[in-house]
Amino acid sequence: MKRNKMVAGNWKMHFGPSKAAEFAEELRINILDTHGVSVILCPPFLALKTVFDVVNGSELKVGAQNMHWEESGAFTGEITAAMIQETGTEYVILGHSERRHVFAESDEWINKKVQRSLKSGLIPILCVGEKIEEREAGETEQVIARQLRDGLKGISASEMETVILAYEPVWAIGTGLTATPEQAIAVHEFIRGALKTLYSEAVAESTWILYGGSVKPDNTQGLLSNKDIDGALVGGASMKLDSFKGIIDAAGAIE
């Protein structure tokens, strides 16, 4: 399906409130026209409110990088969907590979988070992706199929209208190694096929699927010009004006 592209910047554990506000201001001033590309800034929790206040009224939207699935409770160090929403934030990245592999988040937890985000009205960006040893063992599709099936358990076809997916091969994240367009397209097609099996042709066609893993201005066009790749989830290159703007411009120039 032909649709506008989306570019989300994941700032990870960089930029406290002051630096984040400063950078968001720089982006707001320099990215006045996104050429129809939806742009989402995902700062650390502490900077959500300040970033929202800076970009409110502009083309730029805000997303969180994680959340807990409960509405409240004794969960030291955690944060709820409602707290995130109170800052004006509309999106939340869930199941990022660093959450899965550094913090041992299971598909079950990630699924509870997806369910909660939808109940609360936050738009989830659910990440899936294989590790290098899984790719080398020929298990990529098996891993992605499991992450989708378990991560989307209990999510209805109508709720899928609000779910965004991101395919992020773990071996391409922060490594400078990007999946070739052919490798990315093959997995994006596989994901659409899996969505067709889990839901319907309509859901498979209409779901946004982003690619993530060392996206830069010079590889954006090659990756995003395919109809099955609806945008990019960007880490490193989202934290500098030139590279982030370069990615947005490249995405916006795709016919």
Catalog residues that contact ligand PGA under the rule CB under 6 A.
Answer: 10, 168, 173-174, 212-215, 233-237
Let me know the angle formed at the C-alpha of 97 by 131 and 144, rounded to the nearest 5 degrees: 55
Determine the residue with CB nearest ligand PGA.
235
Instruction: Please identify, using beta-carbon distances, which residue of 111 and 238 lies nearer to ligand PGA.
Output: 238
Using an 8 Å Cβ cutoff, are 166 and 207 in contact?
no
* 96 is known as an active-site residue: yes
Closest approach of Cβ 49 to ligand PGA, in Å?
A: 22
Q: What is the token pair recorded at 90?
A: 């509309």
* 71 is known as an active-site residue: no
Closest approach of Cβ 178 to ligand PGA, in Å?
A: 8
Closest approach of Cβ 129 to ligand PGA, in Å?
A: 9
What one-letter code names the amino acid at 60? L
d(C-alpha 253, C-alpha 255), whole Å: 6
Residue tagged active-site, from 68, 96, 105, 188: 96
Using an 8 Å Cβ cutoff, are 3 and 208 in contact?
yes
Instruction: Please identify, using beta-carbon distances, which residue of 173 and 203 lies nearer to ligand PGA.
Output: 173
Instruction: Please identify, using beta-carbon distances, which residue of 10 and 50 lies nearer to ligand PGA.
Output: 10
Residue recorded with tokens 């990756």: 223
Closest approach of Cβ 10 to ligand PGA, in Å?
A: 4
Closest approach of Cβ 215 to ligand PGA, in Å?
A: 5
Neighbours of 3 (CB within 10 A): 13
Residues forming the active site: 96, 168
